[in-house]
Amino acid sequence: MTTYRIAPSLLSADFARLGEEVRDVVEAGADWIHFDVMDNHYVPNLTFGPMVCQALRQHTTAPIDVHLMVQPVDALAQAFCKAGADIVTFHPEASAHVDRTLQLIKAEGKQCGLVFNPATPLSVLEWTLDKIDVVLLMSVNPGFGGQSFIAHTLRKCEQARRLIEQSGRDIRLEVDGGIKVDNIRRVADAGADTFVAGSAIFGQPSYRAVIDAMRAELAR
């Protein structure tokens, strides 16, 4: 039976009270905390650095899932590992040497993964599936929260699931962007097991009500 994980994205949280937001959303049933790192270079926005991750580490024991939208990757990947990240994922086109970057993250004792933009092919997985723990598919273009789900991600998700199953390895298949109560079941049916949701959870009257509704859809 598939174990589903819900990973609320701090990109949609109240930045003025992040520690409280993290505690509240984990208490409401979140499995992971998704931590979007943007550098105003690889993507047109600027968010959090390693010091924020380190500060939030004191507020939760839940896994911190760091998604690096940065270029270059290596120095920040290592910095976030040291700051308390449990999982570090990055975009292969942002790294000069994908295999080396994966090795650097693994050397820090952390899980690692690759992130694929909506129009980025999955071909690099042929050479990396034996080294990664997570495949993250972007179902919106990276850089901003609150965007609508890009429908062709479902086909890409099916393709990624086939590759993971062929590898025989325990690799999480995560989808990020436009995930809501009314589409999470379709994304799960396409093969995803981990779901990043930002504005669908943060800013809502009850985090628990949204997470419970998502779990009810996943249990259908």
Active site residues: 36, 176
Handedness of CA 176, 178, 180, 186 (dihedral sign): negative
CA 209 to centroid of chain Cα atoms: 22
Sign of CA dihedral 132, 138, 141, 145: negative
Binding residues, as ranges, are 9, 34, 36, 67, 143-146, 176-178, 198-199
Distance of CA 207 to the CA centre of its chain: 18
Using DSSP's 3-state secondary structure scheme, residue 101 falls into helix
DSSP H helical ranges for the chain: 18-27, 50-57, 74-82, 98-107, 153-167, 184-189, 207-218
For the chain, how long is the longest CA-to-CA vector? 44
Cis-peptide into 72, omega within 30 deg: yes
Q: What is the DSSP letter of 147?
A: P
Detail the residues annotated as belonging to a binding site for a divalent metal cation. Answer: 34, 36, 67, 176
Q: Which residues define the annotated binding site for substrate? A: 9, 67, 143-146, 176-178, 198-199
118, 150 Cβ separation under 8 angstroms: yes
Query: Any residues with CB less than 8 A from the CB of 132 and at least 6 apart, and which?
Result: 102, 112, 113, 114, 171
